[in-house]
Chain A
Amino acid sequence: MATRFWKFANPHHFGKLVTASTPALWSLSFLFLMTGLLWGFLFTPDDFRQGSTVKIIFVHVPSALMAINCWLMMLVSSIIWMVRRHRISILAAKAAAPVGLSFTLVALISGGLWGQPMWGTFWAWDPRLTSFLILFLHYITYQLIWIYIADKESAANISSLVCLVGSVFALLSRYAVNLWNQGLHQGATLSLDQETNIHNSYYIPLVICILGFVLLFITLVLVRTRTEIIHNQIELMEKQRRKQNA
Protein backbone atom coordinates (compact mmCIF):
# COMPACT_ATOMS: atom_id res chain seq x y z
CA MET A 1 0.00 0.00 0.00
CA ALA A 2 2.78 2.42 1.05
CA THR A 3 4.83 1.50 -2.04
CA ARG A 4 1.81 2.19 -4.23
CA PHE A 5 1.38 5.60 -2.59
CA TRP A 6 5.03 6.55 -3.08
CA LYS A 7 4.80 5.51 -6.75
CA PHE A 8 2.72 8.66 -7.31
CA ALA A 9 5.49 10.77 -5.82
CA ASN A 10 7.16 10.29 -9.21
CA PRO A 11 6.12 13.30 -11.39
CA HIS A 12 5.59 11.05 -14.43
CA HIS A 13 3.21 8.68 -12.60
CA PHE A 14 1.50 11.62 -10.93
CA GLY A 15 0.91 13.27 -14.32
CA LYS A 16 -0.61 10.04 -15.63
CA LEU A 17 -2.87 9.80 -12.57
CA VAL A 18 -4.09 13.39 -13.03
CA THR A 19 -4.75 12.97 -16.76
CA ALA A 20 -6.66 9.73 -16.20
CA SER A 21 -8.71 10.76 -13.18
CA THR A 22 -9.63 14.42 -13.64
CA PRO A 23 -12.44 14.09 -16.23
CA ALA A 24 -14.34 11.70 -13.93
CA LEU A 25 -13.53 13.80 -10.85
CA TRP A 26 -14.76 17.04 -12.48
CA SER A 27 -18.02 15.33 -13.50
CA LEU A 28 -18.59 13.76 -10.09
CA SER A 29 -17.87 17.01 -8.22
CA PHE A 30 -20.28 18.90 -10.47
CA LEU A 31 -22.95 16.20 -10.08
CA PHE A 32 -22.71 16.05 -6.27
CA LEU A 33 -22.53 19.83 -5.86
CA MET A 34 -25.48 20.51 -8.15
CA THR A 35 -27.59 17.76 -6.53
CA GLY A 36 -26.76 18.80 -2.97
CA LEU A 37 -27.13 22.56 -3.49
CA LEU A 38 -30.33 22.31 -5.54
CA TRP A 39 -31.84 19.79 -3.10
CA GLY A 40 -30.88 21.96 -0.16
CA PHE A 41 -32.11 25.18 -1.74
CA LEU A 42 -35.32 23.97 -3.36
CA PHE A 43 -36.64 21.02 -1.39
CA THR A 44 -35.70 21.42 2.29
CA PRO A 45 -38.27 22.86 4.70
CA ASP A 46 -37.75 26.10 6.66
CA ASP A 47 -36.61 25.72 10.26
CA PHE A 48 -39.21 26.64 12.91
CA ARG A 49 -36.78 29.10 14.53
CA GLN A 50 -34.31 30.09 11.78
CA GLY A 51 -36.76 30.23 8.88
CA SER A 52 -35.23 29.99 5.40
CA THR A 53 -31.73 31.00 6.63
CA VAL A 54 -31.22 27.34 7.57
CA LYS A 55 -30.55 26.74 3.84
CA ILE A 56 -27.21 28.55 4.27
CA ILE A 57 -26.05 25.39 6.12
CA PHE A 58 -25.50 23.69 2.72
CA VAL A 59 -22.75 26.13 1.73
CA HIS A 60 -21.44 27.16 5.15
CA VAL A 61 -20.79 23.76 6.79
CA PRO A 62 -19.06 22.03 3.83
CA SER A 63 -16.84 25.05 3.13
CA ALA A 64 -15.86 25.42 6.81
CA LEU A 65 -15.16 21.69 7.06
CA MET A 66 -12.97 21.75 3.95
CA ALA A 67 -11.16 24.93 5.02
CA ILE A 68 -9.94 23.12 8.15
CA ASN A 69 -9.24 19.79 6.42
CA CYS A 70 -7.34 21.53 3.62
CA TRP A 71 -4.98 23.04 6.19
CA LEU A 72 -4.51 19.60 7.76
CA MET A 73 -3.69 18.17 4.33
CA MET A 74 -1.15 20.98 3.87
CA LEU A 75 0.28 20.12 7.29
CA VAL A 76 0.81 16.46 6.34
CA SER A 77 2.44 17.53 3.04
CA SER A 78 4.67 20.02 4.85
CA ILE A 79 5.77 17.39 7.37
CA ILE A 80 6.62 15.01 4.50
CA TRP A 81 8.67 17.86 2.96
CA MET A 82 10.48 18.54 6.23
CA VAL A 83 11.25 14.86 6.87
CA ARG A 84 11.81 13.43 3.37
CA ARG A 85 12.46 16.61 1.35
CA HIS A 86 10.07 15.36 -1.31
CA ARG A 87 9.35 18.17 -3.77
CA ILE A 88 5.89 16.98 -4.89
CA SER A 89 4.65 17.06 -1.29
CA ILE A 90 5.49 20.75 -0.85
CA LEU A 91 4.13 21.54 -4.32
CA ALA A 92 0.88 19.83 -3.30
CA ALA A 93 0.71 21.99 -0.16
CA LYS A 94 1.39 25.11 -2.22
CA ALA A 95 -1.29 24.04 -4.73
CA ALA A 96 -3.86 23.42 -1.98
CA ALA A 97 -3.44 26.82 -0.30
CA PRO A 98 -5.56 28.93 -2.72
CA VAL A 99 -8.29 26.27 -2.57
CA GLY A 100 -8.30 26.37 1.23
CA LEU A 101 -8.22 30.16 1.19
CA SER A 102 -11.31 30.23 -1.04
CA PHE A 103 -13.17 27.75 1.19
CA THR A 104 -12.28 29.81 4.28
CA LEU A 105 -13.52 32.97 2.56
CA VAL A 106 -16.81 31.26 1.62
CA ALA A 107 -17.23 29.99 5.21
CA LEU A 108 -16.55 33.44 6.71
CA ILE A 109 -18.87 35.36 4.35
CA SER A 110 -21.69 32.80 4.44
CA GLY A 111 -21.33 32.70 8.24
CA GLY A 112 -21.70 36.49 8.39
CA LEU A 113 -24.74 36.32 6.10
CA TRP A 114 -26.26 33.71 8.41
CA GLY A 115 -25.26 35.57 11.57
CA GLN A 116 -26.79 38.92 10.66
CA PRO A 117 -30.46 37.79 10.67
CA MET A 118 -30.00 35.26 13.50
CA TRP A 119 -27.59 36.98 15.92
CA GLY A 120 -28.21 40.56 14.78
CA THR A 121 -24.58 40.98 13.73
CA PHE A 122 -22.31 39.91 10.86
CA TRP A 123 -19.38 39.37 13.21
CA ALA A 124 -18.72 38.60 16.88
CA TRP A 125 -15.41 37.88 18.66
CA ASP A 126 -16.60 34.38 19.47
CA PRO A 127 -13.94 31.60 19.95
CA ARG A 128 -14.88 29.74 16.77
CA LEU A 129 -15.16 32.82 14.59
CA THR A 130 -11.92 34.30 15.90
CA SER A 131 -9.92 31.09 15.44
CA PHE A 132 -11.35 30.85 11.92
CA LEU A 133 -10.31 34.42 11.13
CA ILE A 134 -6.77 33.62 12.37
CA LEU A 135 -6.77 30.53 10.12
CA PHE A 136 -7.78 32.80 7.20
CA LEU A 137 -4.86 35.14 8.00
CA HIS A 138 -2.53 32.11 8.06
CA TYR A 139 -3.74 31.14 4.58
CA ILE A 140 -2.94 34.67 3.35
CA THR A 141 0.51 34.60 5.03
CA TYR A 142 1.20 31.21 3.41
CA GLN A 143 0.29 32.60 -0.02
CA LEU A 144 2.40 35.75 0.49
CA ILE A 145 5.46 33.65 1.41
CA TRP A 146 5.32 31.83 -1.93
CA ILE A 147 4.71 35.09 -3.82
CA TYR A 148 7.41 37.24 -2.22
CA ILE A 149 10.25 34.81 -1.39
CA ALA A 150 12.14 34.23 -4.59
CA ASP A 151 14.26 31.30 -3.36
CA LYS A 152 11.96 28.27 -3.64
CA GLU A 153 13.86 26.22 -1.03
CA SER A 154 13.53 28.99 1.60
CA ALA A 155 9.86 29.56 0.68
CA ALA A 156 9.19 25.84 1.13
CA ASN A 157 10.89 25.76 4.55
CA ILE A 158 9.25 28.94 5.88
CA SER A 159 5.80 28.02 4.54
CA SER A 160 6.11 24.59 6.22
CA LEU A 161 6.79 26.29 9.54
CA VAL A 162 3.78 28.60 9.04
CA CYS A 163 1.73 25.48 8.31
CA LEU A 164 2.84 23.91 11.60
CA VAL A 165 1.89 27.04 13.59
CA GLY A 166 -1.39 27.50 11.70
CA SER A 167 -2.45 23.92 12.39
CA VAL A 168 -3.01 24.91 16.04
CA PHE A 169 -5.67 27.37 14.86
CA ALA A 170 -7.09 24.86 12.37
CA LEU A 171 -7.62 22.41 15.24
CA LEU A 172 -8.91 25.18 17.50
CA SER A 173 -11.45 26.15 14.81
CA ARG A 174 -12.56 22.53 14.68
CA TYR A 175 -12.90 22.01 18.43
CA ALA A 176 -13.62 25.57 19.65
CA VAL A 177 -17.35 24.86 19.98
CA ASN A 178 -16.59 21.86 22.21
CA LEU A 179 -13.84 23.54 24.26
CA TRP A 180 -15.66 26.79 25.05
CA ASN A 181 -19.34 26.97 25.79
CA GLN A 182 -19.39 30.75 25.55
CA GLY A 183 -19.95 32.60 22.28
CA LEU A 184 -22.71 32.88 19.74
CA HIS A 185 -21.75 30.01 17.45
CA GLN A 186 -23.83 26.86 17.84
CA GLY A 187 -22.34 23.42 18.54
CA ALA A 188 -21.12 21.03 15.83
CA THR A 189 -23.75 20.37 13.15
CA LEU A 190 -22.49 16.87 12.38
CA SER A 191 -20.75 14.68 14.90
CA LEU A 192 -19.81 11.02 15.02
CA ASP A 193 -20.01 10.89 18.81
CA GLN A 194 -23.48 12.43 19.06
CA GLU A 195 -26.57 10.30 19.22
CA THR A 196 -28.78 12.98 17.77
CA ASN A 197 -27.81 14.75 14.60
CA ILE A 198 -29.75 17.18 12.44
CA HIS A 199 -33.02 15.94 10.91
CA ASN A 200 -32.78 13.63 7.88
CA SER A 201 -34.43 16.22 5.62
CA TYR A 202 -31.28 18.38 6.08
CA TYR A 203 -28.79 15.59 6.79
CA ILE A 204 -28.94 13.82 3.39
CA PRO A 205 -28.51 16.92 1.14
CA LEU A 206 -25.82 18.19 3.55
CA VAL A 207 -23.82 14.96 3.22
CA ILE A 208 -24.17 15.19 -0.59
CA CYS A 209 -22.90 18.79 -0.48
CA ILE A 210 -19.95 17.75 1.71
CA LEU A 211 -19.08 14.95 -0.74
CA GLY A 212 -19.27 17.50 -3.58
CA PHE A 213 -16.90 19.87 -1.77
CA VAL A 214 -14.49 16.99 -0.98
CA LEU A 215 -14.46 15.84 -4.62
CA LEU A 216 -13.98 19.41 -5.87
CA PHE A 217 -11.11 19.87 -3.42
CA ILE A 218 -9.39 16.66 -4.61
CA THR A 219 -9.86 17.64 -8.28
CA LEU A 220 -8.57 21.19 -7.80
CA VAL A 221 -5.55 20.09 -5.75
CA LEU A 222 -4.61 17.39 -8.29
CA VAL A 223 -4.82 19.80 -11.24
CA ARG A 224 -3.03 22.61 -9.38
CA THR A 225 -0.25 20.26 -8.21
CA ARG A 226 0.24 19.08 -11.79
CA THR A 227 0.48 22.77 -12.85
CA GLU A 228 3.12 23.39 -10.16
CA ILE A 229 5.09 20.34 -11.32
CA ILE A 230 5.05 21.63 -14.92
CA HIS A 231 6.30 25.07 -13.76
CA ASN A 232 9.02 23.32 -11.76
CA GLN A 233 10.00 21.24 -14.82
CA ILE A 234 10.23 24.37 -17.01
CA GLU A 235 12.37 26.12 -14.41
CA LEU A 236 14.79 23.18 -14.21
CA MET A 237 15.02 22.94 -18.01
CA GLU A 238 15.71 26.69 -18.26
CA LYS A 239 18.51 26.33 -15.70
CA GLN A 240 20.00 23.40 -17.63
CA ARG A 241 19.92 25.36 -20.90
CA ARG A 242 21.55 28.37 -19.29
CA LYS A 243 24.33 26.12 -17.97
CA GLN A 244 24.83 24.55 -21.41
CA ASN A 245 24.97 27.97 -23.08
CA ALA A 246 27.43 29.35 -20.52
Chain B
Amino acid sequence: MPDLGAYSFFVLASYGMTILVLLGLCILTVSQYRSAKRKLAKFNEN
Protein backbone atom coordinates (compact mmCIF):
# COMPACT_ATOMS: atom_id res chain seq x y z
CA MET B 1 0.00 0.00 0.00
CA PRO B 2 1.57 3.32 -1.04
CA ASP B 3 1.80 6.20 1.40
CA LEU B 4 -0.90 8.59 0.18
CA GLY B 5 -0.23 11.19 2.84
CA ALA B 6 -2.83 13.85 3.54
CA TYR B 7 -4.75 13.06 0.34
CA SER B 8 -5.53 9.40 1.11
CA PHE B 9 -9.30 10.03 1.44
CA PHE B 10 -9.55 11.67 -2.01
CA VAL B 11 -7.48 9.01 -3.80
CA LEU B 12 -9.16 6.04 -2.10
CA ALA B 13 -12.64 7.53 -2.53
CA SER B 14 -12.12 8.10 -6.28
CA TYR B 15 -10.81 4.55 -6.84
CA GLY B 16 -13.51 3.01 -4.62
CA MET B 17 -16.31 4.93 -6.31
CA THR B 18 -15.04 4.03 -9.81
CA ILE B 19 -14.77 0.33 -9.00
CA LEU B 20 -18.21 0.35 -7.38
CA VAL B 21 -19.89 2.07 -10.34
CA LEU B 22 -18.19 -0.13 -12.97
CA LEU B 23 -18.84 -3.33 -11.02
CA GLY B 24 -22.49 -2.36 -10.52
CA LEU B 25 -22.86 -1.65 -14.24
CA CYS B 26 -21.29 -5.00 -15.19
CA ILE B 27 -23.51 -6.94 -12.77
CA LEU B 28 -26.64 -5.10 -13.98
CA THR B 29 -25.74 -5.69 -17.65
CA VAL B 30 -25.13 -9.42 -17.19
CA SER B 31 -28.26 -9.94 -15.05
CA GLN B 32 -30.45 -8.08 -17.58
CA TYR B 33 -28.98 -10.15 -20.44
CA ARG B 34 -29.59 -13.42 -18.58
CA SER B 35 -33.16 -12.51 -17.64
CA ALA B 36 -33.91 -11.48 -21.26
CA LYS B 37 -32.54 -14.82 -22.50
CA ARG B 38 -34.64 -16.73 -19.94
CA LYS B 39 -37.74 -14.77 -20.97
CA LEU B 40 -37.13 -15.58 -24.65
CA ALA B 41 -36.60 -19.27 -23.89
CA LYS B 42 -39.85 -19.36 -21.87
CA PHE B 43 -41.68 -17.58 -24.65
CA ASN B 44 -40.42 -20.09 -27.22
CA GLU B 45 -41.49 -23.01 -24.97
CA ASN B 46 -45.09 -21.81 -24.80
Contacts and interface: CB of A to CB of B under 8 A. Distances in A.
Given A106-B22, A224-B32, A226-B33, A234 B11 contact: no
B32 to A, nearest CB: 5
Interface in A34-56: 37, 41-42, 46, 51-53, 55-56
B29 A234 contact: no
B7 A234 contact: no
Contacts of A63: 18
A102 interface: yes
A163 B20 CA distance: 27
Interface residues of B, number: 30
A105 interface: yes
A165 interface: no
A218 interface: no
Given A52-B8, A223-B30, A114 B14 contact: yes
A51 B6 contact: yes
A216 interface: yes
A63 B17 CA distance: 12
A230 B37 CA distance: 7
Interface of A is mostly: helix
Interface string B14-36: 11011101100110111011001
A23 to B, nearest CB: 12
A110 B37 CA distance: 35
A237 B5 CA distance: 60
Contact of A106 (B6, B11, B18, B33): B18
Interface residues of A, number: 36
A59 interface: yes
A234 B39 CA distance: 8
Given A56-B11, A59-B15, A230-B40, A102 B33 contact: no
Contacts of B1: 42
B26 to A, nearest CB: 7
A60 B14 contact: yes
A220 B29 contact: yes
A55 B14 CA distance: 9
B27 to A, nearest CB: 11
Contacts of B25: 98-99, 102, 220
A110 B2 CA distance: 19
A227 B33 contact: yes
Interface of A: 33, 37, 41-42, 46, 51-53, 55-56, 59-60, 63, 98-99, 102, 105-106, 109-110, 113-114, 116-117, 216, 220, 223-224, 226-227, 230-231, 233-234, 237-238
Interface of B: 1-8, 10-11, 13-15, 17-19, 21-22, 25-26, 28-30, 32-33, 36-37, 39-40, 43
